[in-house]
Structures are given as C-alpha cells and as structure tokens.
Amino acid sequence: MRKQMTQIRIKGVIVLLVLVLVTALTAYAQAAEPKERIDVGKDGKLIQTEMPKEVYAPKETYTYIPGERRDPFVSLLSAGEKGGNLGDELTPLQRVDLGDLKLVGIVKNPGGNTALIQTPDGKGYLLRKGIRVGKNEGIVESISDDKVVVKEKKTDFLGQIKVSDFVLTLKKEEGRR
C-alpha cells in the first residue's frame, strides 16, 4: 500500500513539473520582444518607407554554370534510355523489338492504311506510315493489304550502320475475322 502511494506521489510530482515547464516556456515565448520595431502612425499606416537591407537581400548569391553541373530540370531516370539523349523520350513501341510484335489486322483507307499490332504484354497499338517502331530506330515505311514494312538501322559486326527492311505479315486466319 505504501509503495503504491509513493508511486502515485512521484507521478503527481512529474506531472506538476511538466505543467510548470510548459507554462514557463509559453510565458517566455509570449514575453519575447520583436527583433525589430515598425513605427505605425495615427492612421495605422506604416511610417517606415524602406526595409533594412539585411531583411530582403540575400547574403550569398548562386550562379548556375551549365557546363559544370547537370540540368536540374531533366529527369535522372530518362538519362540512359536512348544513348544519353535526354530530349527524346521513348514511346512504348520504341521499347519493343520488332520481332516481338504481332500484326493483328489492317484497316484499309483511301488516305492510307492503318495497322493494328500487339505487343508481348497484350496491348494493342495503331500504326500509320512514318511512326517510329522498335529499338533500332525503325520507321514504318508502308502498310499494304497484308503486310507492314519497317525500315530500321542495324549495326553490323564492323560497326557500320546499315538500313534494312523488317516485314510484319498478317496471317491468313487473322485477316478473315
């Protein structure tokens, strides 16, 4: 019983000390004088016309020199996607090998045919002449009734860049649906 009474008294003393400390800190914070006085006239308008320079002028200035540091507005994640060229972002069609694409259908149109292709993840995309496709900077050159011709750049074992045609053909059973 005595032990419990002692513990209750200790807790009461601790609570009392915390309350006194909080009250003292609050009173100190309210009693602190402002660092600078602003003179106010009879109308309630400011009499001072100019603020002290140390209030609004920065002490140090920073100058950005483009050659020494990277551009802070360019994403770090897109830096290595396409040979370090930060200006061009790759589309989903440019991230897939041409061999992984499946030609699903072709829509005939007097203004130019449109091809429907499917990527390995099951998503479908429309292709028209001039659209970029594939990892090797391929461009759709033509879309006929049963095939799509893509011109792409390939590097051979000597390091020379050669332009070659890649043909996506429409399978007979898929074209009859």
Sheet arrangement for strand 161-169: 132-133, 138-143, 147-155, 161-169
**Alpha-carbon gap, residue 4 to 52, rounded angstroms:** 62
Q: What is the mean pLDDT of the chain?
A: 78
How does pLDDT run across 11-21, given as a tens digit for each residue?
Answer: 899 999 999 98
CB-based contact 120:152 (threshold 8 Å): no
Q: Which two tokens stand for residue 57?
A: 């002028």
How does pLDDT run across 28-44, given as a tens digit for each residue?
Answer: 776 555 556 666 666 66
**Alpha-carbon gap, residue 148 to 146, rounded angstroms:** 7
**Alpha-carbon gap, residue 29 to 17, rounded angstroms:** 18
What predicted TM-score, i.e. pTM, was given to this entire model?
0.47
Q: Assess whether pLDDT exceeds 70 at residue 107.
A: yes
Confidence of residue 117 (pLDDT cuts 50, 70, 90): very high
Q: What is the mean pLDDT of residues 2-17?
A: 88
CA distances from 133 to 7, 15, 80, 104, 159 (A): 77, 72, 19, 16, 22
Taking the CB of residue 98, how many other CB atoms lie within 10 A of it? 18
The torsion angles phi and psi of 173, rounded to 5 degrees, stand at -70, -25
CB-based contact 104:117 (threshold 8 Å): yes
CB-based contact 141:129 (threshold 8 Å): yes
pLDDT of residue 47: 58
